[in-house]
Structure 1
Amino acid sequence: MEINYRNNSKNLILMVHGFSGYPGNLEYLAEKLNEALSYDILVPQLPGHTDKLEDLKQSNHKRWIEKIDSIVEKKKDNYENIYMIGFSMGTLIATIVANRYKEVEKMILIAPPFAFPLKKEILLFLAPGLKLFKKYHYKEVEGNKLNKNLYDEEMRKKYPVKFEKEPLESVIEFNKLRKEGRKSYKNNKTPFLVIQSTGDRVAAYNENQEFLRKNIGSTFGRFVSVDDSGHMIPLDYDRDKVVAETIKFIEEDLSWIKI
């Protein structure tokens, strides 16, 4: 499953969904951007991100990166500008790939999970050891499991979560990706916009803001905060603000940066 708008445009917006998510999590944003900009828009499905936990378990962070990298490599000569939008884990992939290609003009990072509170950082560090010593139970969701990180009730019903708990193997792969994403961000040269909710209980607001602002480097970065959403900002109460800020940033003339 992927979302693909073709408008014979010289501009491409490449969007990357999050961990254990799917392109539908970016459906609203893609639709609104298509209406406003008429750019070509592609939201691919990351390897292993199906409705089966075993598929996610068998995948890895290198394959997730390679999927997006291969798309940029294939598309870069066909477009004048490529804009990357990452949501949650997709921000890590966008940062890594954008750093490899001068053809990526800008990137938008929505709910980025570059940093976590100390307790969660410790758990992620210990995860490989837990795999050896602790039996880890995970299961697929039965019925329509509402997403607790999405506050809008109507959107909760429309976009339920797929899994009760992700495989520990996949969590370990996510953390490998996060380490690579943090390193790429510190060397980033692509102008970017960060949109994050102050009420995000997954990608903690304070920790991520501190990391992103401290390591911004010499490139241009803008930070926008919203207050009425959970982690799933592209679908939540602030979704139209996400749309507006994204359009404004894409259309903004940043040519002065390269002078």
Structure 2
Amino acid sequence: MVPWGRHLAALGYGVAVPRLPGHGTTWQELNRTEWADWYAEVERSFDKLLADCDQVVVGGLSMGGGLVLALAAARPRDVAGVVLVNPAVNTVRKDVLALPVLKHVVASFPGIINDIKKPGMDEHGYTRTPLKAAHSMMSTWRRVREELPKVTAPLLLFRSAEDHVVDPSSGRIIVSRVSSRDVTERILENSYHVATLDHDADMIFEESVQFVRRVTGP
């Protein structure tokens, strides 16, 4: 997320890239947090930006996409726009049905990191996926999906044609259920899941700038 944030900041925008609880430390710490903790940090950062800036556009990658959609649904009058990169709000995988039981038996599974087509890139993710945290995320998705009709802000969605982490069902659900009248979906042909560090990153950054300029206006 940092290169994306730096690109916007270099153009003079006020930018916050919050470190969510349990992130950037250890997977064990992440396993002691849940969706409510992550959302609270997103909302705290949003409120600070709202106090300092004229208008605020929110953006998120993967799980972050679900978090900012939840925020946009809860506070439609405050969110000027939403930018999503391979957002996660659903999965068609059947093995996740075992998470409610597995999380009490096994602490973690091998991590799903660096799904990046561009050689030499590293997203600095955890080598293990904490199951309690994963279950908290996925069990909240249903509520996020139910709240999507409350999202009215302009929306820009970037979705990788080949994503080994989030399946296409999330994008389809978001586009079909939000109430936003201004919706743009862009397919990324040369990036995997972590597209903000991949071949299409520059396109994401530049089109995000154009989107922010358009939805915030003079």
Matched, 1:242 2:204: yes
CA contact (8 A) 1:114 1:208 kept: yes
**Larger radius of gyration between Structure 1 and Structure 2:** 1
Distance in 1 of aligned mates of 2:107 and 2:101: 15
Gaps of 5+ in 2: none
Equivalent AA in structure 2 for residue 195 of structure 1:
F
Matched, 1:108 2:108: no
Distance in 2 of aligned mates of 1:162 and 1:218: 35
Residues 227-236 or 179-188, more deviating: 179-188
Distance in 1 of aligned mates of 2:180 and 2:43: 24
Structure 1 residue 94, shift from structure 2 partner: 0.5
Offset from partner CA, 1:210-251 (integer Å, 9 cap, x none):
212321335321101111111000000110111121111111
Match for residue 64 of structure 2? 90
Compute the RMSD of aligned alpha carbons.
2.3
Gaps of 5+ in 1: 1-25
- Tell me the secondary structure at the aligned position of residue 31 of structure 1: helix
Do the aligned partners of residues 150 and 218 (structure 1) sit closer, same or farther apart at CA in structure 2, a change above 3 Å counting? closer
Distance in 2 of aligned mates of 1:177 and 1:62: 9
Matched, 1:73 2:47: yes
Match for residue 153 of structure 1? 119
- Tell me the secondary structure at the aligned position of residue 157 of structure 2: strand
CA contact (8 A) 1:151 1:237 kept: yes
- Out of 87, 95, 98, the residue aligned to residue 123 of structure 1 is 95
- Out of 217, 242, 253, the residue aligned to residue 179 of structure 2 is 217
Percent of aligned positions that are identical: 19
Structure 1 residue 54, shift from structure 2 partner: 1.7
- Out of 22, 25, 44, the residue aligned to residue 48 of structure 1 is 22
Equivalent AA in structure 2 for residue 155 of structure 1:
M
- Out of 128, 136, 151, the residue aligned to residue 106 of structure 2 is 136
Structure 1 residue 115, shift from structure 2 partner: 2.4
Structure 1 residue 93, shift from structure 2 partner: 0.8
Offset from partner CA, 1:172-201 (integer Å, 9 cap, x none):
111133223222223211211100101011
CA contact (8 A) 2:153 2:180 kept: no
Distance in 1 of aligned mates of 2:4 and 2:81: 17
Q: Give TM-score scaled by structure 1 length.
A: 0.76
Distance in 1 of aligned mates of 2:125 and 2:215: 38
Equivalent AA in structure 1 for residue 121 of structure 2:
M
Match for residue 192 of structure 1? 155
CA contact (8 A) 1:61 1:176 kept: no
Aligned residues: 216
Do the aligned partners of residues 137 and 61 (structure 1) sit closer, same or farther apart at CA in structure 2, a change above 3 Å counting? closer
- Tell me the secondary structure at the aligned position of residue 109 of structure 1: strand
Structure 1 consecutive aligned stretches of length 4 or more whose deviation exceeds 4 Å:
none
Structure 1 residue 168, shift from structure 2 partner: 1.2
Q: Give TM-score scaled by structure 2 length.
A: 0.89
CA contact (8 A) 1:188 1:219 kept: no
- Tell me the secondary structure at the aligned position of residue 166 of structure 1: strand
Equivalent AA in structure 1 for residue 148 of structure 2:
Y
- Out of 183, 189, 213, the residue aligned to residue 227 of structure 1 is 189
Distance in 2 of aligned mates of 1:218 and 1:128: 34
CA contact (8 A) 2:154 2:215 kept: no
- Out of 147, 164, 169, the residue aligned to residue 132 of structure 2 is 169
Match for residue 99 of structure 1? 73
Distance in 2 of aligned mates of 1:82 and 1:239: 21
Structure 1 residue 253, shift from structure 2 partner: 4.6
CA contact (8 A) 2:82 2:156 kept: yes
